[in-house]
Amino acid sequence: MCSTLLHPPPVRAGRRLAFGVAGLALVALLGGCLSFRHEPPRPGRTTLSSATVTLNALMVSNYLVVEAKWDKHGPYHFLIDTGASVTLVSPEFAKRYGGRDPFPADVPLVRVKSSEGDTALLTTTLLPRLQLEGARFEDVQALVYDLAPLSAHLGVKIDGILGFPLFRETLLTLDYAHTRVELRKLSSPAPAGATIPFNNDRKTPIISLRLGDQTFAALVDSGSDADLSLNPVGLRAVFTVVPRPGGMVGTLTNDREQLIGRLDGSLMIGRHALLHPVTDLTDELSSIGGGILRYFTVTFDQERGQVTFDRDQPDPIPPEARRSAGLSFTKTPAYWRVASVIRSSPAAGAGIQPGDLVTRINGEPVAKWDIRRYELLVATATAIEFTFLQGAQETTQRVPVFDLVPL
């Protein structure tokens, strides 16, 4: 899917926040990678209270979620999306901090159009101030978007998704190993690790990766929880596990079914090797998401146009099995609705259908199951008991967990 904002400034939306790990997918949620054809809007003055500002973060399904509180309200939670060139905020956050009138009647809506012809309209706002602990960003342009589905999916209230241009005046470090984010002044020394230049003049984090003797361009995309999303056009891709249908992943205007498999050989990120990576085929720009970034400390330097990958262990990163219960869901506190069922999975064989409502998992109400707990269950269990609501009656089915992508 490739979406274009039809009202200036023109934007192309190519990537999605993908929710496919462990078989839990949120459908029709968000198209991320919003990349400006022209110069993206720069925030106003950026001020750091010290040479290094450290932000504590939560690690939620391969995302780093920053927590910040600068007044009596909050705390607020922000997901950092290096694949997006705009910042999104919730309607509640925009109403509180978007100036005297964050929704003036004379401000045109931003129209997003997908390749399938679907559209969505987003309101613009200007945040006079965005404070992340000791980091202050002034005059931040943002789009207003309902983040409630994302919050329900992650089990954490998300107030905003911070796009890449917000950090132009800082060195941005995503430290997955220590679940923290660091912001440093541009004059700071370059970090240790494998440094790769951005391969475009717009200083978006698109870098060259190597697969065997082949190179290809990929977006460094912290707003996706996927591993490698690969556009195979022009590549001689060989698979040890042939791509098969997976769960559904959502975009701003539509959703699509994954084709997920395992590549033969190693993916090289600078000098770092990932053995036989799990791969989701795409017809969009290739990207690496949080499923790979979580192995590294990643520093983005927009002034020099480069990104650095560092990790304590120099050994190749071994492959892992991708397990699934065969079901994708949209979530509410009271129930999870089955959004899709993986074809030929045990769940499909059990007769589970899209639209079925799950009220309990292993006997406990779904409200007690956040995404982290559910992913751990899928990773370790041999089977899961789902309780379905049919009319006024509840019925329980035991669904085997299987290797969607085996080793």
pLDDT of residue 392: 86
Whether 248 and 109 share a structural domain: no
Whether 160 and 14 share a structural domain: yes
* 240 inside domain: yes
CATH of the domain at 170: 2.40.70.10
Whether 25 and 151 share a structural domain: yes
Q: What residues have CB less than 8 Å from 376, skipping those under 6 apart?
A: none
What range defines the domain where residue 378 resides? 322-405
Whether 134 and 152 share a structural domain: yes
* Dist. CA 123–CA 315, nearest whole Å: 47
Domain count of the chain? 3
Q: Indicate whether 89 pLDDT > 80.
A: yes
Q: Which amino acid is at 406?
A: P
Least confident of 17-21, 44-48, 251-255, 263-267: 17-21
pLDDT of residue 259: 92
Peptide bond into 232 cis (omega under 30): no
* 125 inside domain: yes
Whether 170 and 38 share a structural domain: yes
* Dist. CA 124–CA 399, nearest whole Å: 44
Identify the domain boundary among 185, 210, 225: 185
* 65 inside domain: yes
| Token pair in block for residue 313 | 């262990």
Of residues 5 and 16, the one with the higher pLDDT is: 16
* 330 inside domain: yes
Q: By C-alpha distance, which of 116, 58, 29 is closest to 371? A: 58
Whether 280 and 150 share a structural domain: no
* 315 inside domain: no
* 85 inside domain: yes
Per-residue confidence band for 35, with pLDDT thresholds at 50, 70 and 90: very low
Whether 390 and 280 share a structural domain: no
Q: Indicate whether 272 pLDDT > 70.
A: yes
Give pTM, 2 decimals: 0.86
Identify the domain boundary among 153, 185, 217: 185
Identify the domain boundary among 262, 286, 310: 310
pLDDT tens for 100-112 read: 555 555 555 666 5
**Contact between 56 and 283 (Cβ < 8 Å):** no
Return the beta strands (E) in 154-254 as ranges: 160-163, 170-175, 180-185, 194-197, 206-211, 214-220, 228-230, 239-250
Total Cβ atoms within 10 A of residue 375 = 20
Whether 302 and 363 share a structural domain: no
Whether 60 and 169 share a structural domain: yes
* 190 inside domain: no
Q: Indicate whether 33 pLDDT > 80.
A: no
pLDDT of residue 11: 31
Q: Which amino acid is at 353?
A: Q
* 317 inside domain: no
* Dist. CA 219–CA 289, nearest whole Å: 8
* Dist. CA 265–CA 116, nearest whole Å: 35
CATH of the domain at 379: 2.30.42.10
Whether 251 and 330 share a structural domain: no
Least confident of 3-7, 31-35, 224-228, 387-391: 3-7
Whether 265 and 224 share a structural domain: yes
Whether 178 and 245 share a structural domain: no
Q: How many CA atoms lie within 13 A of 297 on its CB side?
A: 17
